[in-house]
Amino acid sequence: MNLKLETGSPYFMKYINKKIILHHIRMRGTVSRAEIADQLQLSKPTVSSIVDELLAEDWIKEMGSGDSTTQGGRKPIQLQFNAKAGFIIGVDIGGTKIAYGIGDLDGNVVIQEVMPTQPFVPDGIVDELADRIRMLLHQINIPEEKVLGMGVGSPGITNVEKGITTAPSLSWSDYPLKEKLEEKFPFPVYVDNDVNISVLGEQWLGSAVNKKNVVLITIGTGIGCGIILNGTLYRGANWAAGEIGYMVTDKNAAKKDYNPVFDGFGFLENHAGGASIEKIMKNRLKESSDHPLSQVPFTTKDVFTYARENDPLALEVVNEVIEHIGFALVNVAALFNPEIIIIGGGVSRSGIWFIERLNDILKTYLPTDVQLSLTKLGDQIGIVGGMSLFLREHESLLKI
């Protein structure tokens, strides 16, 4: 039921108090009715009435008794947020695959799946995704009525207010992604750039918990950047903040052989993106026909594996990649002064060796220290990020 709330009306005030109390219980972990009244400066009858409603609606649960007061007497009953009161769907749309999953309100992913992208580009993605999500809900016996909403990340530039996205890898131009998905489901859908939702996920449950200034760099086929400043996701004037793949990290090379109009990728992506690493290695192998990789198909992962084993040619290529990425990180850190920079994406799976090399560059060129870390969420980063997007953007968990 959707009601238009009049500011100042008793119903509106009760709704606001209910929202505040639910949020307080969720953030505190466990808390008693008396503690809620004291901490929120609300009357005990108001708290008791609203808590009874939240219990009846299954938003919270009683967890037994806590410590008695210094005056003795009955021990207060502790209240706890019920993370299973509702569920959220998180979706991470990529150029080659789409990860989607269902999680509870604490961010625990209950079930997740992956589907290919390209067979359904451009107009079949939403239909196929909707069918698969319904099958997933049926598989774990969750009715659509228990789903509060969905958060979706898409490659390219996403206008969050209009819910439209432009993603060349999906052949989408001003594609109304939010509208298309909301036609399929009875709950609200929020959309954003895929790297933006990833940095939200890392701040919620990953490497950046309790940090307010965070940068996430994803290094895959392309290179993207999600930015949180003073606790707020920074999207830029045209929803295009974080397009770090266009950063120039070698002006001489940029002047000599780079044309973004024709190359399709930014300068940094052309020199350090996953697809570019393979291309660079193949060019170097033309002069090294006796190299093991010259006779077989290989991936970026193979190049890094050989580099870790001190293969001279692979090490040469990877050192160049690390240098470009390192200088990009120096520029980003100098500009935003984040508490932490998180590295995600396929190239990041090279592990701690990769991080150590980047750290050396940061320590050499930065005037201040910055923590550098790999993502903690792994393959769930986009799903958890989509769930986090919904929780941030939706006005309230309460359905009224």
The tens digit of pLDDT for each residue in 161-175 reads 999 999 988 999 999
Question: In CATH, what is the architecture of 87-203?
Answer: 2-Layer Sandwich (3.30)
Query: Residues 334-352: what's their mean pLDDT?
Result: 89
Q: If you average pLDDT over residues 46-66, what whole number do you get?
A: 92
Phi/psi of residue 370, each to 5°?
-140, 135
pLDDT tens per residue across span 136-192: 999 999 999 999 999 999 999 999 999 999 998 899 999 999 999 999 999 999 999
Architecture of domain 207-375: 2-Layer Sandwich (3.30)
List, in sequence order, the alpha helices (H) in the chain.
10-28, 33-40, 44-56, 125-139, 177-182, 194-205, 251-257, 260-263, 267-272, 274-285, 300-308, 312-336, 352-365, 381-393
pLDDT at 72: 56
Indicate the range of 57-71, 76-90, 169-183 predicted with least confidence: 57-71
pLDDT at 5 over 60: no
Q: Which of 3-7, 171-175, 353-357: highest mean pLDDT?
A: 171-175
| 2 pLDDT above the threshold of 50 | no
At 352 the pLDDT is 79
Neighbour tally for 138: CB within 10 Å: 11
Q: Taking the domains of the chain in order of start, what are their residue ranges?
A: 10-81, 87-203, 207-375
Strand pairing report for 189-193 and 172-175: unpaired
* 71-91 average pLDDT score: 89
- Band of pLDDT at residue 135, cut at 50, 70 and 90: very high
- Mean pLDDT lowest among 107-111, 115-119, 270-274: 270-274
Strands of the sheet with 87-93, listed across from one edge: 109-116, 97-104, 87-93, 147-154, 189-193
Neighbours of 397 (CB within 10 A): 19
Give tens-digit pLDDT for 248-271: 999 998 888 766 654 567 899 989
The SS3 call for residue 216 is: strand
Q: E strands within 82-182?
A: 87-93, 97-104, 109-116, 147-154, 157-159, 164-167, 172-175
Q: What is the percent of the chain with per-residue pLDDT over 70, rounded to a whole number?
A: 94
CB count in 10 Å sphere of residue 225: 23
- Over residues 107-116, mean pLDDT: 98
Q: What is the CATH T-level fold of the domain 10-81, as seen in this structure?
A: Arc Repressor Mutant, subunit A (1.10.10)
Query: Which range is least confidently modeled, 86-95, 118-127, 329-338, 340-349?
Result: 340-349
**Interior angle at CA 57, CA 65 and CA 383, nearest 5:** 95
- A 10 A CB-CB count for 165 gives 28
Residues 203-248 have pLDDT tens digits of 999 999 999 999 999 998 789 999 999 999 999 999 999 999 999 9
The CA-based angle 72-75-77, given to 5 degrees, is 155
The confidence score (pLDDT) of residue 362 equals 97
Give dist(CA 130, CA 151) in Å, integer.
13
216 φ, ψ to 5°?
A: -115, 125
Q: Is 370 left (phi over 0), alpha (psi -120 to 50) or beta?
A: beta
How high does pLDDT run on average in the chain? 91
Query: Which residue, 227, 247, 248, is CA-closest to 236?
Result: 227
The mean pLDDT of 297-308, rounded to a whole number, is 92
Asked if residue 249 lies in contact with residue 324, where contact means CB atoms within 8 angstroms, the answer is yes
**Beta 189-193 vs 214-219: how paired, if at all?**
unpaired
Say how far apart CA 260 and CA 235 lie, in whole Å: 22
Between these two residues, 141 and 5, which has the higher pLDDT value? 141
Within this chain, domains 10-81 and 87-203 share the same CATH topology: no
Could you say which DSSP state residue 294 is in? G
| Element housing 214 (H / E) | strand 214-219
